Every structure is written in C-alpha cells, then in structure tokens.
C-alpha cells in the first residue's frame, strides 16, 4: 500500500496500521505525535490499530530543541 509519510510517498507490501507503521519504521515513541489526514491520533487510543487506507497522509512528529 502507498502512504504519504511526512510528505514523502512510501510503499509497503502489507496492510498498515499506525501501530504497525511506527514499529516498521523504528520510530522512537517518546512523546511521538501522529496525524492521519490532518487528524491527531492518540497513541493511547485503539485508533492506532485501525487499518490505514492507501493514499493516507501520515505525519509523525516529535519534540526537538527550540527556543
């Protein structure tokens, strides 16, 4: 399936959920914030297990240094 992750098109052979995507990409989950099609998905919600659709726009956002 094709997902747009942080603006880049990525292809995955299998179906993906947010949970599986985070695992597959090896993302540090420390205060990670996820948006799917501009909607915030809380990592504590069951929504992270929901199947993503091809063409979904996923944003993976984290804290960095800033003033």
Q: Which stretch in 12-20, 34-42, 46-54 sits in contact with other proteins by CB under 8 A?
A: 34-42
Residue with tokens 């052979």: 13
Question: What is the CB neighbour count within 10 angstroms for residue 3?
Answer: 19
Please give the structure tokens belonging to residue 9.
């098109």
Among 9, 13, 30, 46, interactor with other proteins by CB under 8 A: 30
Among 14, 27, 37, 52, interactor with other proteins by CB under 8 A: 27
What is d(CA 31, CA 43) in angstroms, rounded to the nearest whole number? 9
User: Total residues contacting other proteins (rule CB under 8 A)?
Assistant: 25
The residue among 27 and 37 lying less far from other proteins, judged by its C-beta, is 27
């Amino acid at each position: 399936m094709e997902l747009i992750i942080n603006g880049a098109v990525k292809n995955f052979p299998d179906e993906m959920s947010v949970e599986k995507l985070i695992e597959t990409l090896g993302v540090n989950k420390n205060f990670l914030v996820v948006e799917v099609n501009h909607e915030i998905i809380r990592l504590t919600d069951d929504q992270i297990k929901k199947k993503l659709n091809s063409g979904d726009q996923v944003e993976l956002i984290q804290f960095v240094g800033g003033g």
